[in-house]
Amino acid sequence: DVSLTEVNSFSPSVPISPSSMINQYKFEDGPELRDLFITVDDPESHITAIETFITYRVVTKTTRGEFDSSEYEVRRRYQDFLWLKSKLEEAHPTLIIPPLPEKFIVKGMVERFSDEFIETRRKALHKFLNRIADHPTLTFNEDFKIFLTAQAWELSSHKKQGPGLLSRMGQTVRAVASSVRGAVKNRPEMFTEMNNYMETFSQKINLLDKIAHRIYKEEREYFNEMKEYGPIHTLWSASEEDIADSLKGMAGCIDRCCRATEKRMAGLSEHLLPILHEYVLYSEILMGVLKRRDQIQGELDSKIDVLANKKTEKDLFSEEIGKLEDKVERANNALKADWDRWKQNMQWDMRSTFTNVAENNLHYYEE
């Protein structure tokens, strides 16, 4: 989004070093006025006879009139976040619901109850709730309000009031029937373009995610090797009087490189890897949203086909078709508005993330 001319149009009075160029390439967009602030912190382990799990404290501060209090504090486990996500998808099938971190992780990468894993998950859950809070529609969802305010027993009672088994089976049957019908005949060009965009985006973001993990793995191997070389040079200097100072200097240099590499790895694991993986999950969510929009369209198309072949019951079918046309229109409008908002946020996240990585790399090589 920035041309070469804009990048190079710095003031002549400013020294053009790599770091100063990066520092000037910042974004001016500020956060909108907010009336809902959520913090996820204080993870706590719970061990029972059946299971071991972690709960997180969710603190909400708000000035909204529909809340009975200005501050709430509740504890939630991962399953509660999953419930909230499923309720949002059920209520808003063609809105883009933010992703949650996966329940299971690759064995051997990180222990499930390690401090590192718990902190990574806490940050992801914090971001999940704040993305919902910032969304113009999802933020007013009743289940979201209950999630933020209800005590554990109240939330448990509310969960039991969900749709029954037959209702869920009906939804599943309709979804399967819609997917079996094949391509949607009357899909607007805009949504075909969205599908094509997401297919390309999904391929590229998955590739970026793999490359970033490979870079991090290579950095860690390099760091582990350097950690061994420093002490080796120090020991060597004790038996080589003539070059002792040079060997100690090498040991000190390696130690400084070690610290710089460790800082660089922390930057990758905190800023690059989580953002890329979040958008890998977003790509799956977007494909699901587009598929649900197509299912609504497919339902309308099938009714129109039936009406064309039926001589009787035209009034009844016409009424059903009118309702489905309204449903498709609402789905289209919801997705169009959310699509523009999601793309803007995604471009912001990618620009700031890669700018941050570039800045960290420059500091690393300067060190």
Over residues 178-206, mean pLDDT: 83
Answer yes or no: is pLDDT of 55 > 60. Answer: yes
Task: Determine the CATH number of domain 183-366.
Answer: 1.20.1270.60
Structure tokens at 304: 């129109």
- Which of the four CATH numbers 1.10.260.40, 3.30.1520.10, 1.10.10.10, 3.40.50.2000 does domain 33-154 have? 3.30.1520.10
The number of CA neighbours under 13 Å toward the Cβ of 163 is 13
pLDDT of residue 103: 67
Q: What are phi and psi of 39, to 5 degrees?
A: -125, 135
Which one, of 51, 156, 58, lies nearest residue 113 by Cα?
A: 51
Burial (CB count within 10 angstroms: exposed 0-12, middle 13-18, buried 19+), residue 22: middle
Per DSSP, 179 falls in state: H
Over residues 15-53, the pLDDT tens digits come to 444 444 444 444 444 445 788 999 999 999 888 878 888
Straight-line distance from the first to the last Cα atom of the chain, in angstroms, rounded to the nearest whole number: 31
pLDDT of residue 279: 96
Cβ(138)–Cβ(61) below 8 Å = no
pLDDT of residue 311: 56
**pTM of the predicted model as reported, rounded to 2 decimal places:** 0.78
Measure Cα distances from 159 to 77, 78, 86, 91 in Å: 14, 14, 11, 14
Over residues 280-313, the pLDDT tens digits come to 999 999 999 999 999 988 888 887 777 766 655 6
The segment(s) of the chain belonging to CATH 1.20.1270.60 are 183-366
The segment(s) of the chain belonging to CATH 3.30.1520.10 are 33-154
Burial (CB count within 10 angstroms: exposed 0-12, middle 13-18, buried 19+), residue 131: middle
Q: Is 46 helix (H, G, I), strand (E, B) or coil?
A: strand
Which one, of 252, 359, 360, lies nearest residue 21 by Cα?
A: 359
